[in-house]
A and B are shown apart, each in its own frame.
Chain A
């Protein structure tokens, strides 16, 4: 149980394109999901917390207009990288917590490798 699906796994696109990444909790509901970014050979950096039915909360230094987050249902959060540029190329990972149960760990997706040409 507690599977998180992330799609697509890989995106290659031209500079200026907007890219949407989906994060789905397949067998559980998740009011809260998280988006991370990982640079090569570095650790995961939390970008934002996605909250179902309300605005996402962004970590310091993360541009909310650049990285749009929508959490419209209890099983889906989307991250849109708007007008992507080469410096946005990175590995993006989402995670989700199981609703209704305290002390639950985060369950992670497989990640999306974004390459902007």
Chain B
């Protein structure tokens, strides 16, 4: 069965501290991995995807197929990073997304 696990429901860090959001998946085939973010009172939006291998807003995520993980990291958190983050694998044949439970990040001054 396809499963996405985000073990931390809440994550609180101080401004300037590193932040890491964990994501593990159990998926058949070779899924594409996404991180979506939802800021307060805004719609869900794409943060980054593993095939792009790029850094967005200082965030990076490395796909580790051996550990089936796609953890999201940022070395220096900012207050504007406070949001809800969802890890979401997608099957390449039908593009369906499966969302993890989400992690609420609070960055304190």
Chain A interface residues (CB < 8 Å from chain B) = 32, 34, 36, 42-46, 49, 93, 95, 97, 103, 105-111
Contacts and interface: CB of A to CB of B under 8 A. Distances in A.
The range of chain B's interface size is: 10 to 19
Contacts of B99: 36, 43-45
A109 B43 contact: yes
A46 B96 contact: yes
A43 B4 CA distance: 11
B101 A43 contact: yes
Given A46-B98, A109-B43, 20 more contacts: A34-B96, A34-B97, A42-B101, A43-B99, A44-B44, A44-B99, A45-B99, A46-B97, A49-B94, A93-B44, A95-B44, A97-B95, A103-B32, A103-B51, A105-B34, A105-B49, A106-B95, A108-B36, A108-B43, A108-B44
A24 to B, nearest CB: 14
Nearest to B100: A43
Contacts of A36: 99
B86 A105 contact: no
B11 interface: no
Interface of B: 32, 34, 36, 43-46, 49, 51, 86, 94-102
Nearest to A93: B44
A106 B97 contact: yes
Contacts of B97: 34, 46, 95, 106
17 contacts: A32-B95, A34-B96, A42-B101, A44-B44, A44-B86, A44-B99, A45-B99, A46-B96, A46-B97, A49-B94, A93-B44, A105-B46, A106-B46, A106-B95, A108-B36, A108-B43, A111-B43
B13 to A, nearest CB: 21
A43 B95 contact: no
